[in-house]
């Protein structure tokens, strides 16, 4: 019997409803190493000596720098399987009433420039002007590859593994708040501060590539997951469910971006539930966790051991000064409140 829910929220579908849909309507074949499942953002296909990695992600919360976003958000999913993004295709759906030649060319130029900087081939896709849209919608499709022995599969996560968060969160959320509410923020904060927050998508950036370059030096990495919609809280639930393990997270150990905390407090948002692209969750063997943290520190990247994976089929838990409570995915990203 299918699972139903009472109300649609902007953002991801409820986890249980999505799980039901994936189980009933998706399928794989003998060459599908990783197929559709909760907590997995890309597919891995056996191509002989190499594994083909494929992912697809849209850009829906922003139009500024949308081409840049599209490339990096999709590339991040490839890095999380241990691979390298190689080929990018994109579907551009453009609004009928507001599309201009300048808009179209700027999107193509952003995608081209970002792909070129990342060593990715911009291979094509589909572009059309579409009725009923208020703003451009971009759906990216990234293909990458990885050697079989280098594939990172969350099925390898074991009870006792440490959960590390690399780079403070929410980078993406803080940048989007600053870009969306700049006029209001200029009344309360310096122009330099607001402009710095807007630029967070570039510095430190929403790409996990610098984090992956540290991770790939370690052999006992059992799983990677990049937090997106629903922020760190939802991402922890997703990696826990993908591994079919519980996890206990210490809230005080989660590194929060100071700018993100300030902006979230200003608008009454929870930073743990905000868009968090740019950070990376890492499941690492407990024996290698300290060395991994040392390597991040040497690279000038904030990282922290935030928890431990527990027995199979346990639930994700968050511990703080008030006690221990079960973690649930966000019904909608905190950022959505800014548009209501």
User: Taking the chain (340 residues) in consecutive chunks of 10 residues, what is each chunk's mean pLDDT?
Assistant: 55 76 86 83 93 93 86 97 98 94 95 98 96 92 97 96 98 96 96 97 97 96 95 96 95 97 97 97 98 98 98 89 91 87
In terms of domains, do 127 and 224 share one?
no
Q: Assess whether 243 and 323 both reside in one domain.
A: yes
Report the candidate in 338, 196, 333 with the shortest Cα–Cα distance to residue 277: 333
Q: Is the peptide bond before 263 cis (omega within 30 degrees of 0)?
A: no
Domain boundary among 80, 115, 150: 150
Reported as a single tens digit per residue, the pLDDT across 59-86 is 877 778 999 999 999 999 999 999 999 9
pLDDT of residue 16: 79
- Shared domain for 237 and 335, answered yes or no, is yes
CA–CA dist 180, 169 (Å, integer): 18
User: Do both 144 and 161 map to the same domain?
Assistant: no
pLDDT at 148: 95
172, 252: one domain: yes
Residue 182 lies in a domain: yes
Inter-residue contact 308 to 248 (CB < 8 Å): yes
Among residues 94, 122, 150, the one where a domain terminates is 150
Q: Is residue 3 part of a domain?
A: no
Q: What pLDDT was estimated at residue 164?
A: 98
Instruction: Read off the DSSP letter of residue 271.
Output: G
Report the length, in residues, of the chain: 340
Asked if residue 7 is part of any domain, the answer here is no
pLDDT at 26: 85
Taken in order 256, 114, 151, 153, the sign of the CA dihedral is positive
> What is the pLDDT at residue 323?
94
What is the structure's pLDDT at 1? 44
- The whole domain housing 321 covers 154-339
- The pLDDT of residue 139: 96
82 contact partners, CB below 8 Å, separation of at least 6: 146, 150, 151, 152, 216, 221, 224
Q: Two tokens at 169?
A: 């969160």
Number of domains in the chain: 2
């Amino acid at each position: 019997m299918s699972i139903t829910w009472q109300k649609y929220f902007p953002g991801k579908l409820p986890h249980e409803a999505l799980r039901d849909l994936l189980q009933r309507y998706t399928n794989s074949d003998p060459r599908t190493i990783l197929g559709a499942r909760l907590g997995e953002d890309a597919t891995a296909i056996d191509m002989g000596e190499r594994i083909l990695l494929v992912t697809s992600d849209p850009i829906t919360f922003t139009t500024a720098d949308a081409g840049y976003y599209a490339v990096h958000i999709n590339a991040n999913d490839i890095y999380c399987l241990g691979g390298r993004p190689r080929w990018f295709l994109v579907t551009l759906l453009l609004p009928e009433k507001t599309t201009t030649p300048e808009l179209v060319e700027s999107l193509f130029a952003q995608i081209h420039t970002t792909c070129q900087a990342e060593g990715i081939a911009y291979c094509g896709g589909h572009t059309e002007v579409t009725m009923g849209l208020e703003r451009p919608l971009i759906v990216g499709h990234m293909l990458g590859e990885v050697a079989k022995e280098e594939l990172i599969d969350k099925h390898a996560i074991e009870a006792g593994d440490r959960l590390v968060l690399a780079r403070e969160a929410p980078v993406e959320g803080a940048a989007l708040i600053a870009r969306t509410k700049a006029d209001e923020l200029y009344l309360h904060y310096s122009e330099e501060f607001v402009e710095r927050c807007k630029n967070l998508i570039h510095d430190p950036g929403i790409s996990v590539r610098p984090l992956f370059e540290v991770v790939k030096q370690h052999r006992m990495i059992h799983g990677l997951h990049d937090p997106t919609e629903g922020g760190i809280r939802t991402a922890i639930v997703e990696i826990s469910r993908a591994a079919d393990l519980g996890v206990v997270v210490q809230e005080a150990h989660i590194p929060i971006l100071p700018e993100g905390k300030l902006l979230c407090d200003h608008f009454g948002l929870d930073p743990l539930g905000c868009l968090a692209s740019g950070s990376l969750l890492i499941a690492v063997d407990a024996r290698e966790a300290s060395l991994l943290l040392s390597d991040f520190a040497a690279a000038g990247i904030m990282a922290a051991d935030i928890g431990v994976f527990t027995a199979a089929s346990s639930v994700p838990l968050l511990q703080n000064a008030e006690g221990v409570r079960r973690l649930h995915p966000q019904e909608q990203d905190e950022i959505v409140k800014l548009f209501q």
